[in-house]
Structure 1
Amino acid sequence: MRGQKERRFAVNLKHESGFRFISQASEDGRLHGNPYVSDEPDPVGEASGPATPALLGSAIGHCLSASLLEALRHAHVEVLGFETEVVAIVKPNEDGLPRIDGVDVQLRPTVKNRSAETKRCSGIFEKYCTVSSSLKKGIEIRVNVDWQLAE
């Protein structure tokens, strides 16, 4: 989204039951993808869909993955596969209320070999991630790139 003007991403949530919501993402009235379910885990919800910390983790992981993928493509590095694992850590704060204490992100791109280009991409991609760059001031986000070499 670099070099673009302001954009407004919307999500409309409709309460279904308990703590379960059906959400639909859009931008300027154009729907993005299919509706999706979110729910709270036990003991309050039924865990029928991802909980809010998992959705936040998904947004962070997707954005970082896309940023690294874009950097690698610009560097003409062939990516043969890509997996990402994100763990959002929720702990009680000083008032005993659950808060996101940090987020651990493991990016696992598969390439033919490590090179100067992969090293350079590792050093620059995070600054292009809109989501993690916006959240870092309030949440510690720990990112590790675990290069996988194709056999």
Structure 2
Amino acid sequence: MSEQHSFSLELQRRDGYEFDTQFDWEHLPTLLVDEPEPLGGSKGPNASRLLAAAVGNCLSASLLFCLSKAKVEVKNMHTKVTGSMTRNEKGRLRIGKLDVHITIDATTETPQRFDRCLQLFEDYCVVTASVRKGIEVEVLVTDQAGTQLYHA
């Protein structure tokens, strides 16, 4: 039986396409999310950029975690994620590909441990594994009184 954890966040519309995003960790500041121009005002990252950041962060953290467990000294790490947008058969814009480039400065007395981490780390990245396989999304739209307007 698989172990399940949950998390939540809330988005409150500010103006136009701007939303304040509040995470379930109360110590975190609110994150402003917005759409790029001309639709929005580009006042914050949009959902595509947040997804790319999540993939890049998760891969970087997974690799760093494995290397630290393997006692590999990581002096520096830089990750660049490049997203390619494409259109589906209906002409709708989609993220077609995410290219993740992790640059690492590390030293070790045991190169086999470093190599082992390179073979393992992707499998431990929750976000990348989820995105690659697809994520079940349940959509519910209600009005302010709680009346269900849409559910899929």
Q: What's the TM-score, normalizing by structure 2?
A: 0.81
Matches of 2:22 and 2:44, distance apart in 1: 14
Q: 1:32 to 1:59 in 2, by over 3 A?
A: farther
Counterpart of 1:92, as a letter, is R
Q: Look up the match of 1:59.
A: 54
Matches of 1:79 and 1:135, distance apart in 2: 27
Q: How much has 1:118 moved relative to structure 2?
A: 1.5
Spell out the pairing of 1:84-103 with structure 2 (5 A cutoff).
Answer: 84-103=79-98
User: What SS does structure 1 have at the residue aligned with 2:100?
Assistant: strand
Matches of 1:41 and 1:108, distance apart in 2: 28
Is residue 80 from structure 1 mapped to residue 75 from structure 2 by the alignment?
A: yes
User: What SS does structure 2 have at the residue aligned with 1:33?
Assistant: coil
User: What SS does structure 1 have at the residue aligned with 2:29?
Assistant: strand
Where in structure 1 are there 5+ consecutive unaligned residues? 140-151
Matches of 1:76 and 1:85, distance apart in 2: 25
Matches of 2:44 and 2:131, distance apart in 1: 23
Is residue 48 from structure 1 mapped to residue 39 from structure 2 by the alignment?
A: no
Q: How much has 1:137 moved relative to structure 2?
A: 2.2
Matches of 2:19 and 2:13, distance apart in 1: 5
Residue of structure 1 aligned with 2:18, choices 17, 20, 36: 20
Matches of 1:97 and 1:89, distance apart in 2: 14
User: What SS does structure 2 have at the residue aligned with 1:31?
Assistant: coil
User: What SS does structure 2 have at the residue aligned with 1:42?
Assistant: coil
Spell out the pairing of 1:136-151 with structure 2 (5 A cutoff).
Answer: 136-138=132-134
Q: What's the TM-score, normalizing by structure 1?
A: 0.81
User: What SS does structure 1 have at the residue aligned with 2:64?
Assistant: helix
Give aligned-pair identity as a percent. Answer: 37
C-alpha RMSD of the superposition = 1.9
Can you list the C-alpha shifts for 1:51-88, whole angstroms capped at 9, x where unaligned? 11000001111111110001001100011111111122
Q: How much has 1:31 moved relative to structure 2?
A: 2.1
Matches of 2:54 and 2:101, distance apart in 1: 14
Q: How much has 1:138 moved relative to structure 2?
A: 4.0
Computing the radius of gyration from Cα coordinates, the structure with the larger value is 2
Aligned length: 133
Higher fraction of strand: 1
Q: Look up the match of 2:121.
A: 125
Give the conservation status (yes or no) of the 8 Å contact 1:84–1:108.
yes
Q: How much has 1:40 moved relative to structure 2?
A: 0.5
Where in structure 2 are there 5+ consecutive unaligned residues? 136-152
Q: Look up the match of 2:138.
A: none
Q: How much has 1:91 moved relative to structure 2?
A: 1.3
**Regions of 4+ moved over 6 Å:** none
